[in-house]
Amino acid sequence: MNPAERPEPALPRVASVPIGVAAGILTAAGELLFLVVAAVAVAVAAVVPPARRRAHAAILRYAAELVRLERRRLAGFLTAGVAPGGPATRGWRDVGYLAARLLPGALGALAYGLFAVGVVLAVIVLWAVLRGTLEPADALVQVVIGAALLLVNVQAVASIAALDVRLAHRLLGAGSRAELERRVRELTTSRAEVVAAVDAERQRIERDLHDGLQQRLVALGMLLGRARRSRDPERAAALIAQAHQDAQRAIGELREVAWRVYPSALDDGDLGEVLRVVADRSDIPVRIRYDVATRPDRPVETVLYFVACEALTNAAKHAAAKLITVEVESRAGTIRLRVHDDGVGGADPTGAGLTGLARRVAALDGRLRVDSPAGGPTTVLAELPCG
């Protein structure tokens, strides 16, 4: 990632900053104890080589646990910019972070120590005022000085929290090389999944053509042959009429297969218009809500179209739904499709159809979630970048 493009760390949460800094003092004390024990263990392991590997493994394991604790503290009290999860272990970089964490821990202890001293002095001044041994003018001066020192102390706590957050972003964040390797792994996986999804779609189209359209055309040919051989004009006319109906049904099935291959209707209209056409052809009532200000890229529309059609087909065939709701909306650079039905539920996210959709969505850096408990309802949610 270009340094100029690296996002700035999120600002500390004002309400929970004092709690986060106080918790950081306690964790820093534990980390100091851990570092001392780790240093002793390393020194002993240097003298006793057989114990070196075991000592290093134990140090790294406990360091990873302490780092996970710090991540939860930061995410819970100071900033949403540091994920509470993270890599299971990062080796000696974790130990380096724990050592760096001693600085904000020590500064936090100093700030809270000064605050405690200020509280004691404030109690002494208040007691002197109540006893009448301190003049009102002197008491006012003490209050002004105390208020100024309190403001300085509050600012110091906020600065310590900001330092803590920056250290976490700098030392816990993935480096550019690690981020690049992670992205390469994601793209490699996505490419393999897209190839698998395309193969599965081809097999599905082949089955539709073989089991449906091909058999209907064979039957159509047989009807026309019987009509041609018939010597009864009325019988021949009836067979030709039946053949015409079968031809119309074959054309409809062919159109359905063609739409599953490529939604050509997107050439003339946006996703909202195409989904309304699909809804009109559905045997189950479908409500469409399309709230997208800027039309997304064509690949995004195509993937969302396939997700919506698959969800509608599943609801019609398996869910016994009475109403299906399709909502499409865009927000903050992403587009979101939600398909909800009031059917019996029980959809399997690992099934071939939904797995293929998940692969399509993942290929565009999106995500697909399916919530379908037994008894219903079923919700299919897809989120993708707009472009």
pLDDT at 358: 83
Cβ-in-10-Å burial (0-12, 13-18, 19+) of 204 comes to: middle
What pTM does this model have? 0.45
Residue 1 has pLDDT above 50, yes or no: no
Average pLDDT (17-21) is 87
The confidence score (pLDDT) of residue 36 equals 92
In this predicted structure, what is the pLDDT of residue 274?
Answer: 84
Percentage of the chain exceeding pLDDT 70 = 78
Query: Hunting for tokens 């394991």 — which residue is that?
Result: 61
pLDDT in tens, 347-382: 888 777 777 778 778 878 788 888 888 888 889 999
Task: Quote the pLDDT of residue 106.
Answer: 92
Pairing of strands 324-331, 334-341: antiparallel
Contact 193, 363 (CB under 8 A): yes
Mean per-residue pLDDT of the chain? 79
pLDDT, greater one: 252 or 23: 23
Average pLDDT over residues 219-232: 81
The residues near 229 (Cβ < 8 Å, ≥ 6 apart) are: none
Higher-pLDDT residue of 192 and 138 is 138
φ, ψ of residue 337 to 5 degrees: the values are: -115, 130
Please state, in angstroms and as integers, the Cα–Cα distance from residue 299 to each residue in 133, 154, 327, 329, following that order.
81, 52, 19, 17
CB atoms within 10 A of CB 178: 12
27: confidence class by pLDDT, cuts 50, 70, 90? very high
Label residue 338 by pLDDT band (50, 70, 90).
very high
215 pLDDT above the threshold of 80: no
Name the strands in the sheet holding 324-331, side by side, starting at the edge strand that comes first in the sequence: 286-291, 324-331, 334-341, 378-385, 367-371
